[in-house]
Amino acid sequence: MEKEYYKNLAEKYFAGDITEEEISELAGWIRNNVQLSDWWEEEFEKSDTDTPLALRDKMFARIKAEVLKEQPAMKRTLDKTLVPAWAKWAAMICIPICIAFFTYNILSISNADKNRSPFMVKANKGDKATVVLPDGTDVILNSASQLSYLSDFGRNERRVHLEGEGYFKVAHDARRTFIVQVGELEVKVMGTVFNVCAYSNDQDVTVVLLEGKVGVYTPSTSATLSPGEKINYNKSTRKLSTEKVYPDDYVSWTKGNLYFQNESLENIMKALSRVYDVTIRIDSPKISEERFTGTIPGGGIQNALNIIMLTSPFRYEVEDSVIILKEK
């Protein structure tokens, strides 16, 4: 009943029939609800709209900005004239998604300075996630990845924390640096397109630049990337190394493909496990050390394994839903 009540308040907002007191009430519930991400998933599944994901995200970002602008500090009651035509249109075509995203993104609607509550977006194993940040930056998260930022994002700087892999198209802002923080490593830009891969169980953090210029900084060293370059940061040695690459290969995952460059089967199986949400076990150290280079198109875990098997000496069996790699 509680969710239904606040869902009705959100619908009243889109209809222009909500009061200042109701906005404050709705904002308080949103700010203190720790299960908004789950609700977003539920509402998304229930929606029958075929609106493209990227368009929905941009629309929802505008909804957030509009609601923030209409805070009770204005000391007036909302009426229908305060709700722009695009918001009413958005509500009509995909109310369930709008409400879910509205609640998910408005955590900082008031009193944000008191606790600087973080926003968090997750992509579970087997999934990807697309998000538009408050500054208009587009981010695609790969499987088993997480992006978070504080409610004062954009006030002095635009800082996000990444766990996993993300593809960033950063909105240009010469006054406020955009920073992707991965542990002690920072990637700093003004506006550009790049990919960061930083899974906790990987030995290296990699940054690949497609457009613009980025700086990569650690406590002991730094480097600047130009388009077509890749930086590897070794977590153990804390050293940076740079190489020339074909950057499109490293973002092919955004289109459902997987690219590996002289990668060990141990690391490849970690990636496949994340992407397809399966458990894979390697029975032989020899298999783990085998190397593979190539692009694996989407098509499922069996298709991926069969492609790798063409050049690698292993076979696989499935036991109790666990894929086991064995020597031929």
**222-276 per-position pLDDT tens digit:** 999 999 999 999 999 999 999 999 999 999 999 999 999 999 999 999 999 999 9
Same domain, 52 and 99: yes
Sign, CA dihedral 277-281-286-288, equals positive
The last residue of a domain, from among 113, 148, 168: 113
Q: What is the number of domains present in the chain?
A: 3
The closest alpha carbon to 138, from 169, 107, 111, 165, belongs to 169
| Euclidean distance between CA atoms 316 and 302, whole angstroms | 10
Same domain, 1 and 95: yes
Same domain, 48 and 171: no
Spell out the long-range contacts of 75-78 with Cβ–Cβ below 8 A and sequence spacing 24 or more: 75/20, 76/20, 77/19, 77/20, 78/13, 78/16, 78/17, 78/18, 78/19, 78/20, 78/23
Mean pLDDT of the chain: 76
Residues contacting residue 48 through CB under 8 Å, at least 6 positions apart = none
Q: Which helix (H) or strand (E) segment is 3 a member of?
A: helix 2-15
Same domain, 39 and 14: yes
Is the pTM of the predicted complex or chain greater than 0.85?
Answer: no
The last residue of a domain, from among 247, 265, 293: 247
| Euclidean distance between CA atoms 77 and 122, whole angstroms | 36
Q: Which is more confident, 90 or 27?
A: 27
Find the CATH number of the domain harbouring 234. Answer: 2.60.120.1440
Same domain, 242 and 165: yes
The last residue of a domain, from among 113, 131, 165: 113
**304-318 per-position pLDDT tens digit:** 999 999 888 888 988
Same domain, 130 and 195: yes
Same domain, 136 and 15: no
| Euclidean distance between CA atoms 19 and 29, whole angstroms | 16
At 285, the amino acid letter reads P
**20-77 per-position pLDDT tens digit:** 777 666 666 555 554 554 554 455 445 444 444 544 444 444 444 444 444 444 333 3
Same domain, 87 and 129: no
Same domain, 153 and 239: yes
The closest alpha carbon to 96, from 33, 41, 35, 47, belongs to 47
Number of Cα atoms under 13 Å in the Cβ half of residue 184: 13
Same domain, 235 and 269: no
Backbone angles phi, psi at 284, to 5 degrees: -130, 130
Same domain, 109 and 128: no
Residue with tokens 């709209």: 49
Judged by DSSP in three states, 118 sits in: strand
Same domain, 223 and 128: yes
At 286, the amino acid letter reads K
Q: Which domain holds residue 231?
A: 116-247
Sorting pLDDT into bands at 50, 70 and 90, what band is 10? low
Q: Which helix (H) or strand (E) segment is 292 a member of?
A: strand 291-296
